[in-house]
Amino acid sequence: MCGIVGLFLKDRSLEPKLGAMLSEMLVSLSDRGPDSAGIAIYGEERDGFGKITVQSPEPGKDFRALEADLSGETGVPVKVTVRSTHAVIELPLDRIEEARSALARLRPGMRIMGTGQVVEIYKEVGRPEEVADRFALAGMRGSHGIGHTRMATESAVTTMGAHPFSTGADQCLVHNGSLSNHNNVRRELVREGMTFETENDTEVAAAYLTSQMAHGKDLGASLEGALEDLDGFFTFVVGTRNGFGVVRDPIACKPAVLAETDQYVAFGSEYRALAGLPGIDQAKVWEPEPSTVYFWEH
Amino acid sequence: MHAPNLAEASYTQVVDLSKTSVRELNQALHDLHPGSNHTAWDVLNPGGNHALAAGVEQPVGIDVRGSVGYYCGGMNQNAAITIHGSAGPGVGENMMSGSIVVKGDASQYAGATGRGGLLVIEGNASSRCGISMKGIDIVVFGNIGHMSAFMAQSGNLVVLGDAGDALGDSIYEARLFVRGAVKSLGADCIAKEMRPEHLTLLQDLLDRSGVRGVKPEEFKRYGSARQLYNFNIDNADAY
C-alpha cells in the first residue's frame, strides 16, 4: 500500500493554495497509509538564503533559544520558524554546511529533515489528517510539492522512516513499493562517501538519485538510471528545486494516475486524490506507462 | 390516482455520493428483490470511490456519472453497469454475468478472474487486463497493457488496438483476438488460425459491444500452444 500525491503548479496564481490542495489530496488517501505521513513543499525563495528543516522529539527544549544559539555559533543572523515538532531555519545559503555541524553540537537530539534554497519537509507518525493539521499544511504556499501516506513494510514506523526522504539540497523522493537490492546499492553509495540515517529502502533510492545528479545527470536521466539499477517494486515521485518527476518499475503493479491541465500537473496513487482538483473533469488524465520517465521543469 | 404513463425516468433512483455513503448505495442495491420497480439507478459524484455497485445480483441498469476507484462492479451478476468516466484497478473483477461498460479507460487487471458476462472498455485498459479470466468476454476499443490474459482459462478477450508485452503468458483455453500489433507474446501463447466459427463468435461480440465498421477479418487470434500445461483433448468441452 502507501499513498502518494504530487502537485506541480504551472499557473502561479494557484501558489497560495498549494498547501490546501496538496493536504486535501493527501488526506483522501489516508486508508492507503495510516501509519505516518509527510510532505515536501517547495515554498518561497529568498535570494542568497537557504533553509534547513529540523525535527525534534523535544521541540519545547530544542527550539527554545535555537535562533540565538545558532547565530552565536555561526556569527550570522538566523531565523527560526517553529511548526509543531519541526522548525525551519533560514540563513545565508553559503553557511548551510557550517550550520549543520553546529546543530549537531548544539542540539544532538535534533534531526535534519532536509536542506536547500526552497524545500521544507514535514513528516510525522500518525494519520495523515493529524499530520496535516499539526503542521498547518493547508496554509502553506509554494510552486510544487509531494506527499506520502505510509503503510510501513520495510522498516519501523518512526518519524525518520516516514517519507519524503531528502538526501540532497532541494531534492526529495516518495515511494510506493519495496526495493529488493537496496542493501547492495546502499553499500555502493557508502563507498562513494554518502551517509544514511535509516535502514529504509526508500532512503537508498533518494540517495541513488542524489548521487546520479551529483555526477551531472539531470532529473530525467537520473530516473532512467533508476530503472536500470534499482530492483523491486516502485512508483517514485521526485521533487527538485524546479522539477517534478514520476517513474514506475517495469511490472508497474503499484498504482499511479497523472492529470494535467494548463494550470497544473498532479499525481495520485488513485484518482480519488485528484477528484477534488479544479478543472479535473476537463484534465488529461492517464496512467503513467511502466519503465517510462515523466518529468516537468519550471 | 395511479398514473400509468408516468415517464420511465421517474422510476430512476438517484444516489448522490457526495451526500450518501458507498455502503448505503451498495446495501440498497443488494437489498433489491426480483421484480423490484427500481430497475434504473443513477449514481452521481462517484469521486474515484472503491467497490461501487459491487456484488449486485438483480438485472438493473446502473449509470455511474464519473470516474470510479478499485473494483467497480466486482462479482456482478445480471446488472448492466455503465461507468461514464474511467475505472480504477479491478473493474468487473470476478464478474459472473450481466455487463459493464467503461466509457473511459480502465486501470490494471480489468475483468480479472471473471466467470461470465460482458465487460466493454471504450478507452484503453492497462496492464493485466483479463488476468486469469474464466469465461468472461472482454472487449477493449483501445489498447491493452503488458501481461494481459496471464493464465487466462476461458472466455474471449477482444482488442481493437494494440497489446503490450507478454500477451497471454501461461494461457489455458481463453481466446484472444487482437486487431493491432502485439508487442510480444508470453510463454506458450501463439498466433492461431482464424476459422469460420471464430469469425462468427467475434462478429457477435463486436455487435453486442456496439462496435461498428470493424470486421472480424481484421483481427488475429492468439491462444495456447498447449505445451506448458497438460492439455487433454478429452477435456476440451470443459473450457
Query: For B169-212, what is each residue's pLDDT tens digit?
Result: 999 999 999 999 999 999 999 999 999 999 999 999 999 999 99
Label residue A109 left, alpha or beta by phi (over 0 means left) and psi (-120 to 50 means alpha): alpha
Options A2, A37, A52, A219, the catalytic residue: A2
Q: Which long-range contacts (CB under 8 A, 24 or more apart) does A110-113 make?
A: A110/A54, A110/A55, A110/A56, A110/A62, A111/A54, A111/A55, A111/A56, A111/A159, A111/A160, A111/A197, A112/A52, A112/A53, A112/A54, A112/A55, A113/A53, A113/A54, A113/A55, A113/A86, A113/A166
DSSP A252: -
Say whether both A58 and A106 belong to one domain. Answer: yes
Tell me the average pLDDT across B109-135: 98
Q: Contact, A52 vs A115, CB < 8 A?
A: yes
Half-sphere exposure of A111 (CA within 13 A, CB side): 19
Q: How many domains does chain A have?
A: 2
AA letter at A77: P
Please, which pLDDT band fits residue A206 given cuts at 50, 70 and 90?
very high
CA distance A290 to A61: 47
Tell me, yes or no, if A270 comes closer than 8 A to chain B by beta carbon. Answer: yes
Say whether both A183 and A249 belong to one domain. Answer: yes
Q: Contact, A270 vs A25, CB < 8 A?
A: no
DSSP B180: S
Please, which pLDDT band fits residue A4 given cuts at 50, 70 and 90?
very high
Number of H helices, E strands in chain A: 8, 16
The ipTM (two decimal places) reads 0.89
CA distance A33 to A150: 4
For residue A278, whether the previous peptide bond is cis, meaning omega lies within 30 degrees of 0, is: no
| Domain CATH number, residue A276 | 3.60.20.10
Of A124, A110, A137, A139, the residue nearest A52 (C-alpha): A110
CA distance A12 to B145: 36
Say whether both A31 and A148 belong to one domain. Answer: yes
Domain boundary among A96, A117, A138: A117
Tell me, yes or no, if A233 comes closer than 8 A to chain B by beta carbon. Answer: no
| Domain CATH number, residue A93 | 3.30.70.420
Q: What is the pLDDT of residue B238?
A: 72
Tell me, yes or no, if B94 comes closer than 8 A to chain A by beta carbon. Answer: no
B6 pLDDT more than 50: no
A204 pLDDT more than 60: yes
B10 pLDDT more than 80: no
Q: Contact, B70 vs B89, CB < 8 A?
A: yes
Tell me, yes or no, if B107 comes closer than 8 A to chain A by beta carbon. Answer: yes
Dihedral sign for Cα B17, B209, B176, B123, please.
Answer: negative
Q: What is the pLDDT of residue A108?
A: 95
Say whether both A55 and A26 belong to one domain. Answer: no
Domain boundary among A91, A117, A143: A117
Please, which pLDDT band fits residue A155 given cuts at 50, 70 and 90?
confident
Of B168, B111, B163, the residue nearest B137 (C-alpha): B111
Say whether both A55 and A11 belong to one domain. Answer: no
Of the candidates A251, A287, A290, the beta carbon closest to that of B107 is on A287
Residue in B50, B67, B184 to test binding to A, most A beta-carbons within 10 Å: B67
* Cell matching residue B44: 452521481
Say whether both A111 and A150 belong to one domain. Answer: no
Per-residue CA distances from A294 to A220, A248, A263 (Å): 7, 10, 17
The domain of A50 spans 46-117
Q: What is the pLDDT of residue B5?
A: 46
Tell me the average pLDDT across A184-198: 95
Residue B138: CB atoms within 10 A of its CB come to: 33
Q: What is the pLDDT of residue A102?
A: 96
Domain ranges of chain B: 11-119, 124-225
Q: Contact, B119 vs B92, CB < 8 A?
A: yes
Q: Are B67 and A285 a contacting pair at CB < 8 A?
A: yes
Q: How far is A275 from chain B (nearest CA, A)?
A: 5
Please, which pLDDT band fits residue B4 given cuts at 50, 70 and 90?
very low
Tell me the average pLDDT across B138-163: 98
Q: What is the pLDDT of residue B230?
A: 79
CA distance A108 to A95: 19
Element (H, E) at A222: helix A219-229
Burial class (CB in 10 A: 0-12, 13-18, 19+), A129: middle
Q: Are B127 and A252 a contacting pair at CB < 8 A?
A: yes
CA distance A66 to A87: 10
Of the candidates B68, B86, B108, the beta carbon closest to that of A253 is on B108
Say whether both A27 and A152 belong to one domain. Answer: yes
Say whether both A180 and A112 belong to one domain. Answer: no
Of the candidates B86, B127, B146, the beta carbon closest to that of A285 is on B86
Helix (H, G, I), strand (E, B) or coil at A141: coil
Chain B contacts of A258, Cβ < 8 Å? Answer: none
Say whether both A25 and A92 belong to one domain. Answer: no
Catalytic residue flag (residue A2)? yes
CA distance A46 to A67: 18
pLDDT in tens, B37-92: 999 999 999 999 999 999 999 999 999 999 999 999 999 999 999 999 999 999 99
* Cell matching residue B123: 478507452
Per-residue CA distances from A70 to A14, A111, A113, B62, B179 (Å): 35, 15, 17, 64, 68
Q: What percent of chain A has pLDDT over 70?
A: 100
Q: What is the pLDDT of residue B8?
A: 46
Domain boundary among A117, A138, A166: A117
Helix (H, G, I), strand (E, B) or coil at B223: strand
Tell me, yes or no, if A104 comes closer than 8 A to chain B by beta carbon. Answer: no
Of the candidates A252, A253, A270, the beta carbon closest to that of B48 is on A270
Tell me, yes or no, if A274 comes closer than 8 A to chain B by beta carbon. Answer: yes
Say whether both A55 and A86 belong to one domain. Answer: yes
Angle CA(A238)–CA(A241)–CA(A246) in degrees, nearest 5? Answer: 20
